[in-house]
């Protein structure tokens, strides 16, 4: 086994190790609004479900080198406390990627990517109409993770106020709660520019 020491290695190398090791990562496609109402949309793969009772999800916005160290998504959520997590399917993967461009805050990534805004029911940021599953969220808490230079990544926790699931991806007879992965066709992120589909699956029953 080769050994890598975080105290001696560069952050860039450690990042490569982590995104190659922690795979596949689900993608939170996050819509938010700035204080003036401009729409924002960006993908985040440092993302997970944290709790079902209460329902809470979290994702991480990384420090951005340069003059605008906070991602617009973080700035917006701190200002408005609301966001939507949209799940990404294969059919609009390229549009999701287009929305990840580093553009100034005034640019509306719905327009940039060609994705369609759909009004939410509780929060002000719109959902992505092309997404088959969405979670309307209110900011619960942020947790900063800083390095010695003070560069800060931020974990954003959101309470899910409302789940929306397209009937087309629900399994018959699942009582409305079982999502068919074959129909959802969610994608995950691997290292670098590589993604994974969720078509190759197997079942395993947990031991009693």
Ligand X SMILES: Cc1cc2nc3c(=O)[nH]c(=O)nc-3n(C[C@H](O)[C@H](O)[C@H](O)COP(=O)(O)O)c2cc1C
Residues in touch with ligand X (CB under 6 A): 27, 40, 42-46, 60-62, 71-73, 97, 100, 102, 189
CB 138 within 8 A of CB 158: yes
Smallest distance from the beta carbon of 97 to ligand X, in angstroms? 5
CB 178 within 8 A of CB 158: no
Phi-psi region of 120 (alpha: psi -120 to 50; beta: other; left: phi over 0): beta
Q: Which residue's CB is nearer to ligand X, number 100 or number 116?
A: 100
List, as own/partner pairs, every contact residues 4-7 make where C-beta atoms lie below 8 angstroms and the sequence separation is at least 24, other chains included. none
Smallest distance from the beta carbon of 76 to ligand X, in angstroms? 8
Q: Which residue's CB is nearer to ligand X, number 79 or number 174?
A: 79
Q: Which residue's CB is nearer to ligand X, number 40 or number 134?
A: 40
Smallest distance from the beta carbon of 120 to ligand X, in angstroms? 18
Smallest distance from the beta carbon of 9 to ligand X, in angstroms? 20
CB 107 within 8 A of CB 64: no
């Amino acid at each position: 086994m080769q050994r890598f020491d975080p105290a001696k290695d560069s952050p860039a190398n450690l990042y490569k190790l982590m995104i190659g090791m922690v795979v596949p990562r689900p993608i939170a496609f996050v819509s938010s609004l700035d204080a003036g109402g401009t729409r924002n949309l960006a993908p985040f793969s440092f993302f997970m479900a944290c709790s079902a009772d209460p329902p809470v999800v979290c994702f991480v916005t990384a420090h951005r080198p340069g003059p605008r160290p906070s991602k617009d998504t973080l700035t917006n959520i701190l200002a408005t406390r609301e966001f939507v997590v949209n799940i990404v399917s294969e059919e609009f993967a390229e549009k999701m990627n287009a929305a990840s461009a580093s553009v100034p805050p005034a640019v509306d990534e719905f327009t940039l990517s060609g994705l369609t805004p759909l009004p939410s029911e509780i929060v002000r940021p719109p959902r992505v109409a092309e997404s088959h599953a969405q979670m309307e969220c209110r900011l619960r808490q942020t947790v900063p993770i800083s390095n010695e230079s003070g560069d800060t990544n931020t974990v954003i926790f959101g309470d899910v106020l409302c789940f929306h699931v397209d009937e087309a991806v629900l399994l018959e007879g699942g009582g409305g709660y079982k999502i068919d992965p074959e129909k959802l066709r969610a994608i995950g992120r691997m290292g670098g520019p590589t993604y994974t589909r969720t078509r190759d699956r197997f079942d395993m029953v947990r031991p009693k």
